[in-house]
Chains A and B, each alone.
Chain A
Amino acid sequence: MTLVYLPDSEPGPESVALAPSPPTLAGLRVAVLDNGKPNADVVMTAAAEALARRTGATVSVITKKGPRGESANAAVPCDPDIFATVVAEADLVITGAADCGSCTAYSVTDAIEFEKVGRPAVVATTTHFETVARTLSSSFGLPDTRLLVLPHPIGGTDAATLTAWAEAATDRLIALFTGAGAS
Chain B
Amino acid sequence: MTVTSRTTYQPEMVELADDGPEAMLELLAERGLGDGLPVVPPAAERVDAMLATAEGDPDEVLFTLQPRAGIVTRRVVAINAVLAGCLPETFPVVLTALRALARPEVNLRGVNATTHPVAPMVLVHGRIAEAAGFHAGVGAFGPGNRANATVGRAVRLAMLHVAGALPGSGDAATHGQPAKYTFCAAENLAESPWESYALSRGVDAPSAVTVHCGEGPHNVHDAEAAGDPALILDKIASAMTSLGQNNAPISQAEYFIVLGPEHARSLADRGLTRGDVSSYLFDHARLPLGVLKRHFAERAWQQWMHIVSDDDHLMPMTGDADNIRVVVVGGPGKHSLVVPSWGVTRSVTLPVEG
CB distance from B182 to the nearest CB of A (A): 16
B133 within 8 A of partner (CB): no
Which residues does chain A contribute within 8 Å of B75, judged by CB atoms?
5
Q: Are A139 and B67 in contact (CB under 8 A)?
A: yes
B72 within 8 A of partner (CB): yes
Residue-wise interface mask of A (1-12) relative to B, using a CB-CB cutoff of 8 A (1 in contact, 0 not): 111111111111
Which residues does chain B contribute within 8 Å of A2, judged by CB atoms?
15-16, 18-19, 41, 43
Q: Are B67 and A7 in contact (CB under 8 A)?
A: no
Q: Are A109 and B172 in contact (CB under 8 A)?
A: no
| Total chain B interface residues with beta-carbon distance under 8 A | 67
Q: Are B6 and A5 in contact (CB under 8 A)?
A: no
A136 within 8 A of partner (CB): yes
Residue of A nearest to B81 (CB): A7
Which residues does chain A contribute within 8 Å of B15, judged by CB atoms?
1-3
B9 within 8 A of partner (CB): yes
Q: Are B19 and A5 in contact (CB under 8 A)?
A: no
Pick from B15, B43, B300 the residue with the most CB of A within 10 Å: B300
| Total chain A interface residues with beta-carbon distance under 8 A | 37
Residue of A nearest to B108 (CB): A105
A36 within 8 A of partner (CB): yes
Q: Are B162 and A8 in contact (CB under 8 A)?
A: yes
Residue-wise interface mask of A (78-101) relative to B, using a CB-CB cutoff of 8 A (1 in contact, 0 not): 000000000000000000000011
Residue of B nearest to A131 (CB): B169
A132 within 8 A of partner (CB): yes
Complexed CA–CA distance, A3 and B297 (Å): 55
Complexed CA–CA distance, A7 and B75 (Å): 10
Q: Are A6 and B11 in contact (CB under 8 A)?
A: yes
B68 within 8 A of partner (CB): yes
Q: Are B110 and A6 in contact (CB under 8 A)?
A: no
Q: Is the interface of A mostly helix, strand, loop or mixed?
A: loop
Complexed CA–CA distance, A45 and B33 (Å): 40
Q: Are B43 and A38 in contact (CB under 8 A)?
A: no
At the interface with chain B, which of A23-31, A52-60, A69-77? A69-77
Complexed CA–CA distance, A168 and B237 (Å): 49
Residue of B nearest to A12 (CB): B4
Q: Are B300 and A71 in contact (CB under 8 A)?
A: yes
B214 within 8 A of partner (CB): no
Q: A5-B47, A6-B12 are in contact. Are A71 and B109 (CB under 8 A)?
A: no
Which of A72, A76, A132 is in CB contact (< 8 Å) with B169? A132
Q: Are A132 and B113 in contact (CB under 8 A)?
A: yes
Q: A102-B344, A105-B109, A106-B109 are in contact. Are A5 and B2 (CB under 8 A)?
A: no
A140 within 8 A of partner (CB): yes
CB distance from B88 to the nearest CB of A (A): 16
Binding site for A on B (CB under 8 A): 2-6, 9, 11-19, 24, 27-28, 31, 33, 41-44, 47, 61, 64, 66-73, 75-76, 79-80, 83, 107, 109-111, 113-116, 157, 161-162, 164, 168-173, 250, 297-301, 306, 343-344
Q: List 26 A-B contacts (CB under 8 A).
A: A2-B41, A3-B43, A4-B27, A6-B11, A6-B31, A7-B42, A9-B71, A9-B161, A11-B69, A12-B2, A14-B2, A14-B4, A71-B300, A73-B298, A76-B110, A100-B115, A101-B113, A102-B109, A102-B110, A102-B111, A106-B110, A109-B109, A132-B169, A136-B67, A139-B66, A139-B170
